[in-house]
Amino acid sequence: MKAYIPATQIEKTGIIRFVPVNISNKDLYSKLSSIYEIIAVRRFTKKVGQDRVPLQTVSITFLSHVLPDNVQYDLFSYRVFEYVPPLLQCFKCFKFNHAAKVCNGKQRCSICSGDHFYKECDRPNELCCANCSGPHLAISKACPVKLKKIMEKKTNITYASKADTRKVEYPALPDKNKIVRPEKTTKTQSQKIALSTPAETPKFDIKKELLHNTDLMNALVSTLIELANKTDSNPITNNSIKDTYAY
- 3-class DSSP assignment, residue 62: strand
Per-residue pLDDT of the chain (247 residues; tens, 9 = 90+): 888 777 767 899 999 999 999 999 999 999 999 999 999 999 999 999 889 999 999 999 999 989 999 999 988 999 999 998 889 999 999 999 999 999 999 999 999 999 999 999 998 889 999 999 999 999 998 999 999 999 988 888 766 665 555 544 555 556 656 555 556 555 555 555 455 555 555 555 666 666 667 776 777 777 777 766 666 666 666 666 666 655 5
75 and 124 share one domain: no
Report the alpha-carbon distance of residue 3 to residue 9 in Å, rounded. Answer: 14
Give the domain-ending residue among 127, 142, 157. Answer: 142
Longest dimension (CA), the chain: 129
Report the alpha-carbon distance of residue 18 to residue 79 in Å, rounded. Answer: 10
> Is the residue at 151 inside a domain?
no
> Is the residue at 55 inside a domain?
yes
Report the alpha-carbon distance of residue 247 to residue 241 in Å, rounded. Answer: 10
> Is the residue at 41 inside a domain?
yes
Give the sign of the dihedral formed by CA 173, CA 176, CA 177, CA 181.
positive
- Which residue range is the domain that position 11 belongs to? 7-82
Instruction: Decide: 83 and 15 in contact? Cβ < 8 Å.
Output: yes
Taking the CA atoms of residue 100, residue 146, residue 12 and residue 39 in that order, the dihedral angle to the nearest 10 degrees is 60
Identify the CATH number of the domain in which residue 37 sits.
Answer: 3.30.70
Give the domain-ending residue among 142, 164, 181. Answer: 142
70 and 105 share one domain: no
> Is the residue at 72 inside a domain?
yes
Give the domain-ending residue among 31, 52, 82. Answer: 82
Model pTM score: 0.54
Instruction: End-to-end CA distance of the chain: give it in Å, rounded.
Output: 82
Task: Count how many domains the chain has.
Answer: 2
Please enumerate in sequence order all residues whose Cβ is within 8 A of that of 225, keeping only pairs 6 or more positions apart, or say none: none
14 and 71 share one domain: yes
